[in-house]
Structure 1
Amino acid sequence: MPSTRLNISLPTHIVDDIKALYGPRGLSQFLEEAAQEKLAAVKREAYKGLIEGYRSTADETVEVLKKLEAAVTEERDV
């Protein structure tokens, strides 16, 4: 998978803690995993709102589709 090199600034104490847990060469791995987790959480929250919106209008949508189906059926029967 292609990667992009970044130049970022983080508080020193955070970098020191990450290096203590992952080793001096594990910083990129940790940041990649953290970014993936955060991105997944943000997407879940965004999709949750969309799903709730769709569910809140589902009954209305079904009624509109039933009326449309009835109108199309009447046209064909004529």
Structure 2
Amino acid sequence: MKILISVLTLAGLSATSASALEPIPGSITYGGQPHSRLQKAPVGSVVTHDFYSGGNRYREIYLLQPDRSLKLTDRSQSSNH
């Protein structure tokens, strides 16, 4: 039973890393990390970003990493109506 749980856990970790979100035009991290870093925000802070791209409205959620970079963790899309 413990082996099955370990295998399922590893499979979940592999699926999560394989399906990582990629930045799209308008994303904060599109083309690389921003030049300015969030110096005063605590590590683990959540940053939201709303923008339009290709006629659609997007909201992205980023997580501030220990090296002060932003990791894209979620994106939702709604039509521009």
Bigger Rg over Cα: 1
Larger RCO of the pair (alpha carbons < 8 Å, separation 6+): 2
Q: What TM-score do the two structures reach when normalised by structure 1?
A: 0.32
Q: What TM-score do the two structures reach when normalised by structure 2?
A: 0.31
Whose helix proportion is higher, 1 or 2? 1
